[in-house]
Amino acid sequence: MFLTENSKLVLAGAISLGSGAITGDWISLKGYGACRCHVILTRGADSTAAAITLDKAKTVAGGDESAGMTIKNWYSLTDYVPGTSTATDLTKGTAATSISTDTSQSVTHYYVLDVDASELGEGYDCLQVNLAASNAANYQVAFYELYNPRYAEDAGGVVEPIDN
């Protein structure tokens, strides 16, 4: 089975090359049971932490937005240097409304925020990942992985996500 057979990858927004923040596009979980938000931060010679947050809404336009939802299941792989690091295990984080990124310099940090659709609450089915402004020495990217399609058998395959 291939990754794309039961999940859909969607870029959360433009790659931030430098100090800009990432305000992710809204993504709908109407057709999926869960979403993983992947955030990758390659840090240069800078030690300024950036905050990762999740917001929820009732529409993909951000209608009835509720900012700062609790991130119950998140994991990190920090201080990774491609080609030389041997660490591959993700470390589970403590539930919080904001994750402060690691400040180690000249390495890559990887964060996975795993959200079950039921965590959004009654009437909410849209999600947005945000990464606060960082530093000009850093590169940041975020993307969504929608998985556990709810209606794939009826639709004949993977359900297309709704995003803005």
Question: Tens of pLDDT along 90-131?
Answer: 889 999 999 988 888 878 888 999 999 999 999 999 999 998
Looking at residues 68-83, what average pLDDT do you find? 86
pTM, two decimals, is: 0.84
Q: How far apart are CA 132 and CA 25, in angstroms?
A: 14
SS3 of 47, please? coil
pLDDT at 73: 95
Does the residue 13 lie in any domain?
A: yes
* pLDDT tier, 3 (very low <50, low <70, confident <90, very high otherwise): low
Residue 105 in any domain: the answer is yes
For residues 15 and 127, which has the higher predicted lDDT (pLDDT)?
127
Position 17 in a domain: yes
- Spatial contact of 156 and 31, defined as CB atoms under 8 Å apart: no
In a domain, 159, yes or no: no
Range of the domain at 28: 8-151
Whether 21 has a pLDDT exceeding 90, the answer reads no
pLDDT score recorded for residue 1: 57
CATH number at residue 84: 2.60.120
For residue 153, pLDDT over 60 is answered with no
Answer yes or no: is 3 within a domain. no
- What is the spatial distance between Cα 128 and Cα 113, in angstroms, rounded to a whole number? 11
114 in any annotated domain: yes
Is 67 contained in some domain?
yes
| Residue 29's pLDDT band (cuts 50, 70, 90) | very high
pLDDT score recorded for residue 95: 95
Q: Is the pLDDT of residue 156 over 60?
A: no
Q: Tell me what pLDDT residue 2 has.
A: 65
pLDDT at 60 over 60: yes
In a domain, 1, yes or no: no
Number of domains in the chain: 1
Exposure of 68 in the CB half-sphere (CA atoms within 13 A):
4
So what's the pLDDT on residue 38? 93
